[in-house]
Every structure is written in structure tokens, then in C-alpha cells.
Amino acid sequence: MATKRASKLVLVGFMGAGKSTAARALGPDSVDVDHEIERRDGRRVAEIFNAEGEQAFRRLEETTTLELLGRPDVHVLALGGGALGSAAIRQALEPHTVIWLDIDPDLAWRRVHGGSTTTKRPLAADQNRFFSLHAQRQAEYEAAADVVVPATRARDIPRVVQSLAGLPEPGAGPGQVKTLWAAGSSGDYPVHIGRGLLTQTEYWPAQLEGRRVVVADYNSARHYSDHLAPFLADIRIMPGEQSKTIAHAEIVWTEMARNGVTRADVVAALGGGVVGDLAGFCAATYQRGIAVVQIPTTLVAQVDSAYGGKTGVDLAEAKNYVGAYHPPAAVIVDPTTLRTLPPEELAAGYAEVVKTALIAGGTLWDQVAAGAPPADAEVITNCALTKLRVVAQDERDGGPRQLLNLGHTIGHALETVTGYARFRHGEAVGLGLLAALRLSGADALRDQVAELLDLAGLPTHAGADLDPEQVIFATARDKKRVGEGPTPFVLCPEPGAAAYGQTVSPADLRRAVNELISVPR
């Protein structure tokens, strides 16, 4: 078996997620509960359902699962899709490592419906009921999971398990650690989120053997660099967007060369979005590419920028115009680092939380709309999971990943025309969200978001001294614009319904920008 962890590995997920496949990949000492029930009873699950009803099957499932969880010879267990409906099973899982194979309902339906497979899936006969059941069970999987893995990576579970080496066991350490497995065409990597993970556990991925090269701004380095010792080099930059330039990249490259950094070493990007983008870009380009571990210490980085592999620097003409896609080898998120953030930085990160919640809809939007604390570990985890799901579909911004730019087209334009000096990135994104919601015709939602931003201490007006024509002109330089066509916008008429590649009229754009810079009543 591919683990030395004391707890059992328990695989959960909806129908068709690949739990049996993952269990087999983890070795011969794995047991599939449904298969064990069929072996003992002599009938298929569907036959038990049809003959005795679902309640009778659930009782049998609960008894069998609890017995197997108590057996010392069982190290890997694949549960049925509905097993977490049992409170006794949920409680029994607490000391074990629960791995959720997360599957999109459309893919699940395609996998299990039709042909002879239907006879094995008694709850997969009706599509509407199937989708409803998927939605109902998501919260159960999410609450139980220590590890979340896309269903498309079921065969790669041994690698996922290897990435857990050195992490606190479930129920141990200063706080629960959640691991999200990021899947992308350029490479997969683990995202570990847990209170005290950096500051108390001083965790570092066991699979990364190279010497550590810390790149940090002075603020994050002062608080947290010592937790990454020993390191080969400790390279520091000034905090703020003004450091995200080719000139500062050259400083980092030069220091790496002077310290003898090689392709076998690992950059530790310690700080906020600026550090993550700059250090990631330097790692992507130094000696044509070395590994980077993202260690975000700001809210905007923990909920957004540390994931997905986008790296780069700004030009005076436009934001993020020079860069590369370079997925990290791992991401380490310790929400306790947010305690040292100034209130205005925490507020700036909150804009990205609101943006992500608008894209996700559902539970995450409900949490944010109800006033969940922005530094809440569960909110951070749900934001990260939302982004990773989007990036898994489209790593390089050819389609769905553009959803993550909600509010950014006008937000980036505001940053550009003010020389990256007036607004923090999150403040500009918040203003951009208000404009995007007005362009979406979501007036009531815009008012709701404006209230959330205002309560967080974020601006809801950009300032009457700005020239609207300059802002509009800057939107035409947005990275999403292709050829001679208009700049596409991301619009969001309601939470969970964001759409990318949308065209807005010049008149509507001008009205939305004018509203942002008008003097508030």
C-alpha cells in the first residue's frame, strides 16, 4: 500500500466517481463495500434494492461498513455513494483519512447511465433524480473529506497519498488539514490548507528534496521566513504592486545566480499575490524552469492567486502583460498568517472572496452573503476548490477559466490608469465587480455586493478625479482581447451563473464606468 499513515484511507464520492478504481490502484488490501456486500449476500446491490428496498440496503451497508472500519487487516475502504447518509458511519470516519473523489454530475451521468451498467446503479434510472441526489450529497462529502481529488484522477490516487507524507493525521496537530488535488494539463500538485501548518508544524513537502530558495517581501519574511529554514537563499523585495516588474525579476534572478541556485532547487514564494506572481515567474524562467512552492500569506493569495500556475509581471501599459504558466509543485496555506495582515489588506482580499462566491453560487455564496468571516478556513478552502475546479477544465484561459476574471477587466483598467499606486488589487477588483454586475443587469445583486464591500471597508466609488475615457481605453488592452475584436467581459446575472466572452455596448460600458467615478450621494 502506498502510505505509512496510521489511519485507514476511506474513499467516498458519488456514483461513477471511480472509488473502486482508486481502491484497486492503492493495492490488494483494499475493500469495496458494495462488492463485499454482494460477495456475502450473493446478490447484486440492485437486486437487494429491488427486493427489499433502499432502507433495508442502507442498514446492511451501515453494518458492513462499520465492521470493515474496525478490522485491522483492512487499510483501504471504498464506500458506497450514499454511505455518508449514516450518522454512525460519519462518526466512525473521524480518525481516518477520507478521500473524496469529486465528480461533475454530467460526467457522472455519462459514466453510469445506459447499457448493462444501469442494472448496477438502482438510483441512476432517472436523470432529474440523479442530479438532485448529486446536489444533496455534496455537503456530506465536503464535510467528511480530508482530501479532495477530481474524479478524473482516480488512477493517480497513489501519488495523491504520497503527497500526504508529513502532514498531521486526522484529528491531530494544531488544526485539521484539508488537501485539494489540483489537476491541470501542465501538471498536478497538492494544495494543503490548515491552521498552523506553516507557523506551528513548519511543514514542507517531503517529496521535494532540493534546497529551498525563499523569495518574500520584507513583511512576510520578517514574520515567517524562519519557519522555512534551512534555506540556501533568502531573497527579499519591497511589498506592493510596484515590485512586480521586469526590473525586480532581474534582481531575483541575479540573487539566485549569485547564491548558486540550480535546477534541482526549489523556490519558496512566501507572501501575497505580488510575491507569488513574481517568484513564480522567476522560477518559470530561471535556467528554463525550476520548481516553486507557493506559500500565500495574504487573503487574496490564499483564495485566488496562489493556484492555477499563472505567473508574471506588469508593464506600465497594462497589468500582467509578461508572464508564463508554471504550476507550483505544491501550495501550503496557513490561515493563521492572516493575523499579521493590516485590516486594509485583509479587506482587499475579501473582494476576491466575493468574486469567487459569485462564480460558485450555492453554499459558498450563501456563506459569504450571510457574513462569514473572510479569514475563515472553510471559506478559504471553498474558494480554492472553486478555482481549482475551473482551472481543471481550462488551464490556459481558452474558455471557462476566463470566468475567474469577473470584475477584473475594469479593475485592471483602474489599476493601470492610476499607475498601480492608488488601489490595492482587491480594492480595484471590488470596484470592477460593481461595474460588471451593472453591465449584467443585476441591479439588486449589485446593491447587495456594494453593501458587503462597504461593510468590509472597501471603496464602492473610484474617485471623481479619474478620466472615464482613460479607464475605457485601458479596458481595450485587457489580455482577454483577441485580434481587432472588442474586449470580452465576464457577466454574472445571478450567483452561480457567470458567463465569459460577453460583449457589452460602448454606451453601457461608459455608463458603468461613469457610475464608478461619480461622487457618491
Query: In sequence order, what are the residues at sequence separation of 6 or more whose Cβ sits closer than 8 angstroms to the Cβ of residue 226?
Result: none
Distance CA 154, CA 148 (A): 11
Once rounded to an integer, what is the mean pLDDT over residues 239-246?
Answer: 93
Distance CA 509, CA 502 (A): 12
Distance CA 440, CA 137 (A): 31
pLDDT tens column, 247-268: 999 999 999 999 999 999 999 9
C-beta separation of 222 from 243 below 8 A: no
pLDDT tens column, 33-49: 999 999 999 999 989 98
At residue 246, the pLDDT reads 96
At residue 2, the pLDDT reads 38
CATH tag, 9-162: 3.40.50.300
Distance CA 507, CA 316 (A): 27
At residue 405, the pLDDT reads 94
List Cα–Cα distances, 459 to 231, 426, 484, in angstroms. 40, 10, 33
Q: What average pLDDT does the chain have?
A: 92
Predicted confidence band at 317 (pLDDT cuts at 50, 70, 90)? Answer: confident
CATH architecture of 390-517: Up-down Bundle (1.20)
Query: In sequence order, what are the residues at sequence separation of 6 or more whose Cβ sits closer than 8 angstroms to the Cβ of residue 301?
Result: 271, 272, 273, 275, 276, 294, 349
The three cell numbers of residue 126 are 432517472
Q: Is 197 exposed, middle or buried (0-12, 13-18, 19+ CB in 10 A)?
A: buried
Predicted confidence band at 123 (pLDDT cuts at 50, 70, 90)? Answer: confident
C-beta separation of 449 from 433 below 8 A: yes
> 181: which strand partners?
190
Amino acid making up residue 489: F
At residue 175, the pLDDT reads 59
CATH tag, 189-389: 3.40.50.1970
**Same fold? 189-389, 390-517:** no
At residue 244, the pLDDT reads 96
Q: For every residue of 146-213, which 3-state class applies, written as one string?
A: CEEEEHHHHHHHHHHHHCCCCCCCCCCCCCCCEEEEECCCCCCEEEEECCCCCCCCCCCCCCCCCCEE
At residue 482, the pLDDT reads 58
In the chain, pLDDT over 70 holds for what percent of residues? 95
At residue 3, the pLDDT reads 41
List Cα–Cα distances, 6 to 12, 92, 97, 193, 311, in angstroms. 19, 15, 9, 20, 38
The three cell numbers of residue 118 are 444501469
At residue 169, the pLDDT reads 79
Peptide bond before 374: cis, by omega within 30 degrees of 0? Answer: no
Q: Residue ranges of the domains in the chain?
A: 9-162, 189-389, 390-517
Q: How far apart, in Å, do the first and last CA atoms of the chain sit?
A: 65
Once rounded to an integer, what is the mean pLDDT over residues 271-295?
Answer: 97
> 489: which strand partners?
502
Closest CA to 102 of 186, 194, 181, 160: 181
pLDDT tens column, 186-216: 999 999 999 999 999 999 999 999 999 999 9
How would you classify residue 181: left for phi > 0, otherwise alpha for psi between -120 and 50, otherwise beta? beta
**What would the DSSP string read from start to end of 360-405?**
H-HHHHHHHHTT--TT-HHHHHHHHHHHHHHHHH-TTSSSGGGGGG
Distance CA 425, CA 277 (A): 13
List Cα–Cα distances, 69 to 36, 40, 64, 73, 98, in angstroms. 13, 17, 9, 10, 12
Query: In sequence order, what are the residues at sequence separation of 6 or more whose Cβ sits closer than 8 angstroms to the Cβ of residue 59?
Result: none
pLDDT tens column, 324-367: 999 999 999 999 999 999 999 999 999 999 999 999 999 999 99
Q: Is 210 exposed, middle or buried (0-12, 13-18, 19+ CB in 10 A)?
A: middle
Predicted confidence band at 516 (pLDDT cuts at 50, 70, 90)? Answer: very high
Residue 515 has pLDDT above 90, yes or no: yes
pTM of the model: 0.92
Residue 480 has pLDDT above 70, yes or no: no
Residue holding cell 485491522? 72
Predicted confidence band at 269 (pLDDT cuts at 50, 70, 90)? Answer: very high
Distance CA 375, CA 303 (A): 10
At residue 397, the pLDDT reads 84
C-beta separation of 368 from 324 below 8 A: no
At residue 72, the pLDDT reads 92
DSSP element (H, E) containing 330: strand 330-333
